Structure 1
Amino acid sequence: MPERMGNMRKVYAHRGASGYAFENTLKAFEKAVGIGADGIETDLQLTKDGVPVIIHDADLYRVTGLRKFITELTLDEMRALKIGRNRWKRMFGKPAMTFAEFLEWARAAGSPSLNIELKETFLDQPDAVEQAVMAAKGYPDLHFSSFHYPLLMQVKQTDPGRETALILTKKSRWDNLGVYGSSDGFHIHKRLWSGKYLGAIEREHKFARVYGVDGTEPFIPKPEPFIRGWITDFPDTVKKAMQKGS
């Protein structure tokens, strides 16, 4: 079991290789593939007209400069906005990608593993969750994650075989993680790397992935056997750190 899990351990580029290019952009995704990431983590939000778009924040100000929420704009209105750092987006920014466009790119790029995080705008939108899950049908290695457990329940209702992962926080039910039966595994921030939290996951006989790592963490070379992967802004650095344990 430990050896098999070790072989499965993958490095996911957080919002693309966001340590090198602006998050959730084509440039960040291409950079991730170029530097050898095994997979890509990205985020889905819904527009006013129900189109899933690759963007992290529901509040668009940080990435577009517009003081609007994504649920206030149609896809066409989103298309008029450029994503990027405030100072440079007018020259180098591009519109946010739709989920369909992202999947098309990923397939053309060799089908890297994908971690799709369903964000808060999907809450109370079961049809949109179902459509996102169906859009991912046939992709060889894709799982859905979320801070919102009801969304993962909806994923499982649509496609029982689709892998899911609940993003845990200190407020999660650590005394009984078994209540999250629709979650195949868990994602945790590296701040939760301790015997208390790791032990709770191990008792459920489920896997975990760890985000927020940058390659300097002492546990990366030889993590617990149930750790299935890392989610990082710097996938190349984390991959080098992993090799120290081999």
Structure 2
Amino acid sequence: MRKVYAHRGASGYAFENTLRAFEKAIGLGADGIETDVQLTKDGVPVIIHDADLYRVTGTRRFITELTLEEVRKLRIGRNRWKRLLGKPAMTVTEFFEWARLSGSPALNIELKETFLDRPEAVAKVVNAAKGYPDIHFSSFHYPLLMRVKQEDPGAETALIATKKTRWDNLGMYGSADGFHIHKRLWSGKYLGAIERDGKFARVYGVDGTEPFIPKPEAFIRGWITDYPDTVKKAMQKGS
């Protein structure tokens, strides 16, 4: 069954990577949640997309400059008024606790760039996920997926591919079980390369209006979207 992952939670309806966005995703019937993990100065994995905190907190600092205690003092939101009522970023441990209490939706954990300088910290995320029933790890950074496999050879991984990916030799990404591609890469060139390599793919950036959603190629395993409800409806047209 192809699954619909709510991108940073249902971020088309609530501010990204917040408890409200995650709860909204569940309420809209998403099969899973995609979220992002960065590292604090003291090496704590937290749920946030940007290393530069200005866009999501209004603070002109990088997350690697702040300890968890300092990050806790910041509020996440779209603007200064919403931040007054916002909550601090969740730790990975808190996120997994919430997910388990919320019916254990499928999870797509994206490892972000702050892990590149401290790849050993990948173990903290992998260990926190141990025993979770449906989870995979994704990243733009292939070395981080290699690290996931070192920590847990059985963990599922997906490389977030771009036009710069070695499409002529996808076999070189042996630690990637599959690929995540933006809908802009939906073409014979890229899809054919994935199929020839015998891997699966998930597609992100979709909103439910794409003509390929009702009847995609067999190796397409799911969709990653800000609008899980509209993508769910689009899928039903192909049934």
Q: TM-score w.r.t. structure 2 length?
A: 0.99
SS in structure 2 of the partner of residue 28 of structure 1: helix
| Aligned mate of 1:45, from 22, 38, 49 | 38
| Aligned mate of 2:14, from 18, 21, 40 | 21
Whether 2:179 is the aligned partner of 1:182: answer no
Superposed CA deviations along residues 177-199 of structure 1, whole A, max 9, x for unmatched, are: 00000000000000000000000
Counterparts of 1:17-96 in structure 2, within 5 Å, are: 17-96=10-89
> How many residue pairs were aligned?
239
Whether 2:112 is the aligned partner of 1:124: answer no
Q: Which amino acid aligns with 2:175?
A: S
Query: What is the aligned partner in structure 1 of residue 137 from structure 2?
Result: 144
Identify unmatched segments of 5+ residues in structure 2.
none
* C-alpha distance in 1 between matches for 2:67 and 2:233: 42
Deviation of 1:130 after TM superposition, in Å, equals 1.1
SS in structure 1 of the partner of residue 167 of structure 2: coil
Larger CA deviation: 56-65 vs 84-93: 84-93
Tell me the percent identity: 85
Larger CA deviation: 118-127 vs 101-110: 118-127
Whether 2:98 is the aligned partner of 1:105: answer yes
Identify unmatched segments of 5+ residues in structure 1.
1-6
Q: Is the 8 A contact 2:161 2:181 kept in 1?
A: yes
Deviation of 1:87 after TM superposition, in Å, equals 3.8
- RMSD value over aligned CA atoms? 0.7
Superposed CA deviations along residues 59-117 of structure 1, whole A, max 9, x for unmatched, are: 00000000000000000000000000114333321100000000000000000000000
Superposed CA deviations along residues 199-238 of structure 1, whole A, max 9, x for unmatched, are: 0000001000000000000000000000000000000000
Superposed CA deviations along residues 144-203 of structure 1, whole A, max 9, x for unmatched, are: 000000000000011000000000000000010000000000000000000000000000
Deviation of 1:125 after TM superposition, in Å, equals 1.4
Q: Is the 8 A contact 2:38 2:48 kept in 1?
A: yes
* C-alpha distance in 2 between matches for 1:156 and 1:63: 31
Deviation of 1:131 after TM superposition, in Å, equals 1.5
Query: What is the aligned partner in structure 2 of residue 171 from structure 1?
Result: 164
SS in structure 2 of the partner of residue 176 of structure 1: helix
Q: Is the 8 A contact 2:58 2:80 kept in 1?
A: no
Q: Which amino acid aligns with 2:150?
A: Q
* C-alpha distance in 1 between matches for 2:195 and 2:177: 13
Q: Is the 8 A contact 2:45 2:91 kept in 1?
A: yes
Q: Is the 8 A contact 2:201 2:220 kept in 1?
A: yes
